[in-house]
Amino acid sequence: MKKSLLIIATGLIVLGSSCKKYLDINENPNQATSGTPEVVLPQALVFTASNFNTFNTYGSQQVGYSANAGGYGGFGSAVTYDYSNATFAGLWTSTYDLLYDFQYVIEQTDTLPDYGYFNAAAKIMKAMNFQILIDTYNDVPYKSSLKGISNLTPEYDKAEDIYVDLANQLDTAIGTIITTMTEESTNPTSNVKPLSSATDPMFGGDMEKWIQFANTVKLRLFIRANGKVTFTNTTFDAAGFLTSDAIVNPGYTRDNGKQNPQWNTWAYTYTGAAGNKAWIPTKFMLSFYDGAKLNDYRGQAIYYNFATSAGTVSNQLGYENSSVPSSPAGSAWLSGANTGSDRGSTTAGKSIGILKGPNAGEPILMASESYFLQAEAALRGIITGDAKTLFENGILASYKYLYMKPDGTYDNNWDPATDFDSYLADNDSYLVHFENATTLEEQVEAIITQKYIALNFIHGHEAWNEYRRTHYPAIVNGSTNATLTFASTQSISTRPDRLPTRVLYPLTESSNNSVNMPKGISPFSSFIFWALQ
């Protein structure tokens, strides 16, 4: 069903978030983790989902998904970019805490062939989380890390070298899965320990999807480091890449500590109290939905009041004035479409959009991102495939995710395929019609811009990584027009785009591992190795 779209005032969003480990296994990374692989692996997967909520907050503030709301102050470095080693420090500590858990599973199962599935899944997740660290900090402790008290001052490894090894580890994990699958299917007396919905809250033990997931993470490594790293093995397993969203759901409920992490942060707590209301959408982001740049029905699925006369509240990052609107209860990102009374804090859980409900799963890697990675890889000759088809599959996958309710169903008046067709009909830009992109640069811009739209407030960190790698979506350097740039109005950056380039290493490293920590790092002139300068 085609829905009418109103042109509304646009605005900027910025988030704040916290990350609490769900049934934490390893409170102190300097002491040994205890527990069986059956216990540690699923809880490390759930913590990954929670940690991604924090990374999304960080990335969404950088890349123009979120801006400061009215009624709040003290935004500090979030709007000035005057970063210290305390800014976003939790990204480092929470991820290394998580990596200890995956490393524990690996060490406990390395010599146990029956636990091949556990070993491989932990290796894949370890690789993914190390990539996230590198994409945030560049060089990090790797080979000598995760040793606990036996090495409290691990040496830093070059980011490029780690990327190569991560790809190798993914290949090893895929090989382990294939070997274990063969043993399980050909040996009637095998004692292979399968993954299940209890031990694998992401794929429920579907090892084909684990291979596709590993392939997709490896493809992200290849795309991001293209031309800067020589990988050992440039092929991918025949299982291919993800065609469905990788979503973690351990059985999220409205109970204390067991809600979907994004819902708990941004919508409502388990008591029904409003979540974080200090951030609202940006005018820059809204321009991709409301006709300023593109017309897109996904805006109605994402934002409260998008298609009403009241409109979605919005701002430009850094602009502080009494006229800046406040966030509605339950967040501006809690859809006002097709929810009715379900938007309320006591009955919600059947919504569409980004904040679907306290019981919704948390995505780890989107099918839309997988398709956009494949589209760019096909363009660059990394894989074979039709870039246009993959590009359009990525857009459609975004519609499918946003229109899907927590239980995986769709309402008749929110049909992804119908509105995808309308998206093509309502826009003539090469950012929507890949065939209208006449140069490689325009084709890359179309892919990254659509990835930016698909990742909106879901994986802000990945959108931020892609902006730094490609400088897309395009902004107008130095502009004061909120639809033409997402740079903060209070930016102290002297760069032409007035944006930062990275965050600093945390205080824990400067205090405890300063002998190894890279020196002279600047948030405005130091770059991740794959970044476009």
In this predicted model, what pLDDT tens digit does every residue of 255-283 receive, in sequence order?
Answer: 988 999 999 999 999 999 999 999 999 99
In this predicted model, what pLDDT tens digit does every residue of 310-331 receive, in sequence order?
Answer: 999 999 999 999 999 999 989 9
CA distances from 37 to 33, 197, 250 (A): 11, 14, 16
Range of the domain at 194: 37-512
Q: Is 439 exposed, middle or buried (0-12, 13-18, 19+ CB in 10 A)?
A: exposed
Q: Is 1 part of any domain?
A: no
Say what the pLDDT of residue 18 is: 34
Written as six digits, the tokens of 272 are 């029904």
Beta bridge partner(s), residue 282: 12, 315
Say what the pLDDT of residue 168 is: 98
Q: Is 426 part of any domain?
A: yes
User: Do residues 198 and 351 make contact, with C-beta atoms less than 8 angstroms apart?
Assistant: no
Say what the pLDDT of residue 246 is: 98
Q: Is 148 part of any domain?
A: yes
Which stretch of 6-15, 140-149, 234-243, 425-434 has the lowest confidence by average pLDDT? 6-15
Q: Is 25 part of any domain?
A: no
- As for how many domains the chain has, the answer is 1
The stretches of 404-459 forming alpha helices (DSSP H) are 416-426, 440-454
Q: Is 429 part of any domain?
A: yes
Helix H or strand E segment including 462: helix 460-470
Which stretch of 10-24, 71-85, 98-112 has the lowest confidence by average pLDDT? 10-24
Average pLDDT over residues 440-466: 98
In this predicted model, what pLDDT tens digit does every residue of 65-81 receive, in sequence order?
Answer: 999 999 999 999 999 99
- pLDDT beyond 70 at 338: no
Q: Report the chain's mean pLDDT, rounded to a whole number.
A: 92
Give the CATH number of the domain where residue 168 resides: 1.25.40.390
Q: What is this structure's pTM? A: 0.93
Say what the pLDDT of residue 344 is: 63
Say what the pLDDT of residue 336 is: 82
d(CA 148, CA 103) in angstroms, rounded, equals 11
- pLDDT beyond 80 at 348: no
- pLDDT beyond 50 at 190: yes
- pLDDT beyond 70 at 236: yes
Q: Is 15 part of any domain?
A: no
